[in-house]
Structure formats: C-alpha cells, structure tokens
Amino acid sequence: MAQPINIGANSIAKIGDRFFLIVEVEAITTGVEIDPVFGVRTTAQQAAALLRAGVKRTTFAKVDPKPTSTTKVELKGVLFANGRIFKVFDVENATSDISVLVRINLAQAQRLIRNGTRIIKVYRKPF
C-alpha cells in the first residue's frame, strides 16, 4: 500500500535577493485529498546545497500555464514573498510535477483571494 503522505512539486525560487523552498505536501487516501503548497525561506547556502543535491529551480512564467490532454494544471494559491506577489500553479504530467509562478499585482491578488483562492503560507525565518 502506498504511503498516504508524500512530497509533490518542490523547487528553489530566488525572489529578489532571497531564496525560498516551494513545496507541495500531498496527503491522499480513500476519500481524502489534501495537497497544500508552502514556502520556506532558506539561506543562500541552504538553497545552493539543495540545488546541488538535485532540487530544481522554480519555473517562472509570464502567463498562466494551460492544461493539455497530458498535463494537469491547478492554481494552488497566491504567494507574497520579498515584496512580490505570484500566482502559484501545480503543473503535473506523467513524468514531472512542478510549481510555476506567475507574477501578479496587488489588485489581481486581492480579486483572487476574494474569490476563494488561498494565500500560500510562507515560513519567513530560515531554519
């Protein structure tokens, strides 16, 4: 039987002069599917070590990713990080699961949040 809790999309984002680990936690079992995304501030040294260990860099895009017959796209929330605001998407197909960040302005963020989009929790103090 598969483990009910796994790490999904995970990557290192450099936003301005700061680094963040963007990670999706997937809890899936019969009747339950919980898959939030979190941001965790890291130091430059931690980010470099994670990148060397194989963690990928976060994908930044100018437009929202589009689903295809083989790719699922899900808006996970709004991320406020280092004075910038992004929509965070989970983009998944048979071979990859990545986070895609699309920069937005405050008015767009407020509209999304009013319509029920979650705010991505960011742990702002590096561990």
Per residue in 62-90, pLDDT tens?
999 999 999 999 999 999 999 999 999 99
Q: Which residue has the tokens 């990713």?
A: 65
Give the pLDDT band (50/70/90) at residue 1: low
Environment class of 28 (CB within 10 Å of its CB; exposed 0-12, middle 13-18, buried 19+): middle
> Which residues on neighbouring strands pair with residue 56, listed in sequence order?
11
Going by C-alpha positions, the residue among 117, 10, 95, 8 that lies closest to residue 53 is 10
Q: Is the pLDDT of residue 108 over 70?
A: yes
Q: Please report the pLDDT score of residue 127 as a whole number.
A: 87
Q: Please report the pLDDT score of residue 82 as a whole number.
A: 95
Record the pTM: 0.92
Mean pLDDT of the chain: 96
Give the pLDDT band (50/70/90) at residue 126: confident
Q: Please report the pLDDT score of residue 5 as a whole number.
A: 94
Buried b (16+ CB within 10 A) or exposed e, 98-127: bbbbbebeeeebeebeeeebeebeeeeebe
Q: Mean pLDDT throughout 7-15?
A: 96
Q: How far apart are CA 60 and CA 33, in angstroms?
A: 26
Q: Please report the pLDDT score of residue 2 as a whole number.
A: 76
Q: Mean pLDDT throughout 99-109?
A: 98
pLDDT for 42-56, tens place per residue?
A: 999 999 999 999 999
Q: How far apart are CA 91 and CA 37, in angstroms?
A: 12
